[in-house]
Amino acid sequence: MTIKVRIPQPLQKLTDGKGLIEASASDVKSLIDELEGKFPGIKDRICDQTGKIRRFINIYVNEEDIRFLQGETTSLKDGYEVSIVPAIAGGK
Amino acid sequence: MNLTDDQIERYSRQILLPHVGGIGQEKLLSAKVLIIGAGGLGSPIAAYMAGAGIGTLGIVDSDVVELSNLHRQIIYSSDDIGKKKAIAAQDRLQKVNPDTKVIPYVLRLTSENIMDIIKDYDVIVDGSDNFPTRYLVNDACILAKKALVHGAFFRFEGQAMVIKLNEGPCYRCLFPEPPPPGTVPSCQEAGILGALAGVIGLIQATETLKLILEIGEPLVGELIVFDALEMSFRKIKIPRDKDCPICGENPTITELIDYEWFCGLKADEIA
């Protein structure tokens, strides 16, 4: 089973500059743990101290916001694409 | 309004468009657009607004032009270094198109002044560079029921969306809270590909023209995510959040708040 995970620019420092990662987790929560195993420190950037996804980062499964699906328990299947999209503010 | 011969020639290539015509051109010439920030996003937006013949163009920026701005802030020249951006923009745009009345606002938007400034405009375009201003602009546009065209960038990535009250989500529906200060580097620290700012700014410019002309499908309820390195555009669905504190069913924000505090900043810490 392969899931594509899109890593945004602000987190690519932790993924050796890679913007696209392959993973095999069966839901979003275990995907974050899988990413943490491969790229230590990334979970801290995505989740707060209580393990909840930070309010300025959204996770999309096949372009749907998981806040409006099943949150962190949203299941993942072969071929799914997950995007991590943080708030950015640059404009100057 | 009757178009003059000069105007018919100046705008002929867009008047020719079946979606524009003389009536559309008159809408553009009567339109009032406010651009917040005359930097990497605001520069190309302003250039195309003036080119298209937007009748009144407000430009808000308190900064001066610096040498390091010129690789992306295309309306300025080396001679403008040290001048207030809103004034230098006015000088430049007035030469591009004397039909466009440019109103410079050399100030920083606050909870105290924003409502008075936006009230005269039809469309607000956000090209600011910090979270307190972005949340301030979002909330003010919701409260004043103004259409807002959002755009932002970071390094090689950009985002854009259109916010229209009652028709789709607002910026808080998308991101309920900003990142804590210090966690997101500014473009001064992170760098920015100049042309990327142009791509995002021109998505905003295009959406602004569509809103005024009332043509096509506005980018409401969706976020465009642009990646320059892989040259991809993705559209992500953004549902309205019924619990949104400003545009939800039971809003808890009914007047503007202290945005520096909301973003964990004191006023003097804003870049």
Note the ipTM here.
0.91
Which domains, from first to last, does chain A contain?
A: 3-86 (3.10.20.30)
Closest CA to A90 of B22, B99, B40: B40
Query: In the A/B pair of chains, how many CB contacts fall below 8 A?
Result: 99
Nearest CA in chain A to B155: A9
Q: Decide: B37 and B129 in contact? Cβ < 8 Å.
A: yes
- CB-nearest partner of A89 from B42, B130, B241: B130
- CB-nearest partner of A88 from B159, B235, B237: B159
Secondary structure (DSSP) of chain A: --EEEEPPGGGGGGGTT-SEEEE--SBHHHHHHHHHHHSTTHHHHHB-TTSPBPTTEEEEETTEEGGGTTGGG-B--TT-EEEEEE---B--
**Res B267 pLDDT > 50:** no
Cβ distance B235 to A19 less than 8 Å, yes or no, reads no
The three-state secondary structure class of B146 is coil
Cβ distance B159 to A56 less than 8 Å, yes or no, reads no
**Res B186 pLDDT > 70:** no
Report the gap between the CA of A34 and the closest CA in chain B (Å).
23
Rounded to whole angstroms, how far apart are CA atoms B211 and B32?
12
Bridge partners of residue B43, in order along the sequence:
none
Report the gap between the CA of B16 and the closest CA in chain A (Å).
33
Per-residue pLDDT of B66-117, as tens digits, reads: 999 999 999 999 999 999 999 999 999 999 999 999 999 999 999 999 999 9
Closest CA to B171 of B131, B122, B211: B131
Average pLDDT over chain A, rounded to whole? 95
Per-residue pLDDT of B167-185, as tens digits, reads: 999 999 999 999 888 777 6
Rounded to whole angstroms, how far apart are CA atoms B161 and B174?
10
Share above pLDDT 70 across residues of chain B, in percent, rounded to a whole number:
96
Strands of the A3-6 sheet, one edge to the other: A20-23, A3-6, A81-86, A57-61, A64-65
Chain B window 56-85: which residues touch A at a Cβ cutoff of 8 Å?
Answer: 63, 69
**Residues contacting B217, CB < 8 A, separation 6+:** none
pTM for this model (two decimals): 0.95
Cβ distance A56 to B128 less than 8 Å, yes or no, reads no
Cβ distance A85 to B159 less than 8 Å, yes or no, reads yes
Which domains, from first to last, does chain B contain?
A: 15-269 (3.40.50.720)
Average pLDDT over chain B, rounded to whole? 94
**Res B271 pLDDT > 70:** no
Using 50, 70 and 90 to split pLDDT, how confident is the model at A47? Answer: very high
- CB-nearest partner of A92 from B179, B187, B227: B187
Cβ distance B41 to A91 less than 8 Å, yes or no, reads yes
Rounded to whole angstroms, how far apart are CA atoms B192 and B197?
8
